[in-house]
Structure 1
Amino acid sequence: MKRTLGSERGVALVAALAAIVLIGVIIAGVLFSVTQDYRISDNSLRQSRATSTAELGLNRIVNEWSLPWNQKLTGDTLKRAYTTSGGGIASVIVTKLNGPFFWAVSEGVSGASRSSFQARRRYGVLLRLDTPQMNFLGAITTQGTTTVNGNVTINGNDAAPPSWTACSPGANVPGAAITPTTTATVNGSVTLNGNPPMLSTPAAGDSNTYFNYGNTNYSSMAAAATIQYPGGLLLNGVAPIVAGGTCAASTIPANWGEPNHAVPASPCESYFPVIHVAGNLKLTSGRGQGILLVDGDLEVAGNFSFMGAVIVRGGLKMSGTGNKIVGATMAATVSVDDNVSLSGNTSVLYSSCALLAVMSANAYPKAARQRGWVDVF
């Protein structure tokens, strides 16, 4: 029996349509894959730019740091915004913490203004003011022959300067720190307090104690001092100078800031100069604050008060009535004929608050050594 085959017309069309559909699916898959790769690549690029922008914000805030920012109170904030060449924006918020610490958070944004096309990164860093690490062994540290007469008070028990209300108590230190070979003579109504009242230690005879401060040293600080004086100088009536509502920097007449805090605050209360004298200095009456560096001998001859750090390469003589140093004092007595003589109504008092204030006022921040950086998101 002969079999009759059906017509095969249209088979080619069906095959062609199937091929077209298959090719379309393949093309669609390729396009989808390419689109996804592009989106992933674009997102990665935006994320990378946001990361770089956030890091730029942290770097810029440190590089552009202004010393008046050091005077902010705990909890105060500072806001800055920086723009990159690619259109990214870094928003930085710096918060003052206790002591010499600041917490900086930078949010970097990259991409179009619509949120679906933006990438964001936030980084935080703990900043610490890079203060000089001065090794004050007591309220007064010296290695020279020391004579104390009259109504003199030397106190290493930590206390805030009078009228300084924003101070936290610190550890007590020795009243006087001297070397085991120092000759010390005490006469009259002398009050010596501290923990202990007097410390005999070889460190008082080590030049590093007086002239090396961790990240810096005496010579570097003297070269970069806010105020420079020649040696052989007599200064009388050192006092704050306010002009036009601002603290006016002045060498002579000398303006060394305002250590007497009041309400409302004087503009000079936040002025803590580094003062360098290239030789001997004599002071009679007045007041000031900051860091005083004297290459030669220092003589204080009555009614002068100073809050902060005093470092003398030569000898120290304080006599008369109403002399007061609140902070810490070091007299290196580098020459054999350099001596320390305290007499009259003189007070040398230790204050960690005064030291922290003057050190922090002239320091710039750097990232804390350990756990200083964190990825917020």
Structure 2
Amino acid sequence: MRPRAEQRGFALAVSIFALVIIAALITGIFFAARQEMKMGENSLSAQQAFNAADAGISNAIANWDMGWNNLATNGTATFNGSLPSGTGTYSGTVQRLNPQLFFVQVTGTAQNSLATRTLGALSRLLIMQISIKGAVTTQGSLTIGGSAFIDGVDTSPSGWACPATSDTMPGIATGDSAGITTSGCSNYSCVQGSPKILNDTSITDSTFLKFGDLNWNSLVAMATKVYSSSYQASDFAPVGTATTCTTSVQDNWGDPMVPASVPGCSNYFPIIYVNGDFSAQGGYGQGILI
């Protein structure tokens, strides 16, 4: 038989070994929990960075800076911003690849700056295609009176930097010339073009409702000035300074004058929609009236 003292020593060794095993298990559990927490933090940071980059691209496209349309091919512009929740920031560039295609690249950064994510997207301009058949294109009746003059000759305004003039167009293009009436304009002396009157049976409803990839409703949705029916404009004029244009003023239609009275509005061309009849008396401006 072993002595009693030796048995007590063996039990002590076993107890110490068991404590070491338990301590190792506890340490392993804490380590695994710590790793799990780090993985969660990393996943959160990665998601925040992705959300910031995605928001940057969405904001750039949804709030397209019209100045980017003036970029030369391969030209770039920069922008930046942050998420409203404060969970990330983003910075990006817009590069023009060709007249219609842009490449938008955005890098998003997580709130703790421990993760970044870069996303890219292609954006294409929808260029409105208008079937211009004459200085005036009409499907219905047309009455010309007073001092009105219709000119199909392309002429560059004095002082404007314009491309070379194009060929002379018909003065009036219509599906039925019988619908044209004049007052004090014998032999269509108030119309100039080649020819003065063009009968074109291809002029249909789609001529006035379809513009390439855009339709009438799309064009109306793009309007920057909207007026109710039977609107009468009076003394509308540009509002701004030498460097800025106050586009929020409803009757500010830009400045077509050379030299401009309000230089800041020289490049402002609003899209103007009147839901009904429209008449104007006095004032001046520029833009697209639909």
Q: Same fold (TM over 0.5)?
A: yes
SS at match of 1:192: coil
Which residue of 100, 119, 125 maps to 1:123?
119
Q: What's the counterpart of residue 183 of structure 2? A: none
Within 5 Å, give how 1:1-377 maps onto structure 2: 8-9=6-7, 10-61=9-60, 65=63, 69-72=65-68, 73-74=70-71, 75=75, 77-85=77-85, 87-95=86-94, 97=96, 99=99, 103-112=103-112, 118-128=114-124, 133=128, 135-139=130-134, 140-144=136-140, 154=152, 178-179=174-175, 181-182=176-177, 191-192=193-194, 200-202=200-202, 204-206=203-205, 208-211=206-209, 214=214, 216-217=216-217, 220=220, 225=225, 230=230, 240=238, 243=241, 246-247=244-245, 256-259=253-256, 266-276=263-273, 278-279=276-277, 281=279, 288-293=285-290
Give yes or no for contact 1:276–1:292 (8 Å, CA) kept in 2: yes
SS at match of 2:33: helix
SS at match of 1:258: coil
SS at match of 2:53: helix
Give yes or no for contact 2:229–2:278 (8 Å, CA) kept in 1: no
CA distance in 2, matches of 1:54, 1:183: 60
SS at match of 2:133: coil
The alpha-carbon distance between structure 1 residues 258 and 76, as it changes in their structure 2 partners (threshold 3 A), is farther
Instruction: Please report how far the alpha carbon of residue 56 of structure 1 lies from its aligned counterpart in structure 2 after TM superposition.
Output: 3.1
CA distance in 2, matches of 1:217, 1:29: 65
CA distance in 2, matches of 1:147, 1:291: 22
Which deviations, in whole Å up to 9, do the C-alpha atoms of 1:183-203 show, x marking residues without a partner?
59987895539xxx978343x
Which deviations, in whole Å up to 9, do the C-alpha atoms of 1:137-157 show, x marking residues without a partner?
434432246899xx975369x
User: One-letter code of the match for 1:217?
Assistant: N
TM-score (norm 2): 0.62
Higher relative contact order (CA 8 A, sep 6+): 1
Instruction: Please report how far the alpha carbon of residue 128 of structure 1 lies from its aligned counterpart in structure 2 after TM superposition.
Output: 4.7
Instruction: Please report how far the alpha carbon of residue 272 of structure 1 lies from its aligned counterpart in structure 2 after TM superposition.
Output: 1.2
SS at match of 2:19: helix
User: One-letter code of the match for 1:270?
Assistant: N
CA distance in 2, matches of 1:199, 1:99: 34
Instruction: Please report how far the alpha carbon of residue 88 of structure 1 lies from its aligned counterpart in structure 2 after TM superposition.
Output: 1.8
| Larger helix fraction of residues | 2
SS at match of 1:109: strand
The alpha-carbon distance between structure 1 residues 49 and 251, as it changes in their structure 2 partners (threshold 3 A), is closer
Give yes or no for contact 1:256–1:290 (8 Å, CA) kept in 2: yes
SS at match of 1:217: helix
The alpha-carbon distance between structure 1 residues 144 and 227, as it changes in their structure 2 partners (threshold 3 A), is closer
| Larger strand fraction of residues | 1
Instruction: Please report how far the alpha carbon of residue 55 of structure 1 lies from its aligned counterpart in structure 2 after TM superposition.
Output: 2.7
- Unpaired segments of 5 or more residues in structure 1? 294-377
CA distance in 1, matches of 2:95, 2:199: 36
User: One-letter code of the match for 2:67?
Assistant: Q
User: One-letter code of the match for 1:35?
Assistant: R
User: One-letter code of the match for 1:279?
Assistant: D
Instruction: Please report how far the alpha carbon of residue 70 of structure 1 lies from its aligned counterpart in structure 2 after TM superposition.
Output: 0.9
CA distance in 2, matches of 1:84, 1:229: 39
The alpha-carbon distance between structure 1 residues 199 and 16, as it changes in their structure 2 partners (threshold 3 A), is farther
CA distance in 2, matches of 1:44, 1:17: 40
CA distance in 1, matches of 2:160, 2:100: 17
User: One-letter code of the match for 2:263?
Assistant: S
- The number of aligned residues is 265
- Unpaired segments of 5 or more residues in structure 2? 181-186
The alpha-carbon distance between structure 1 residues 229 and 245, as it changes in their structure 2 partners (threshold 3 A), is farther
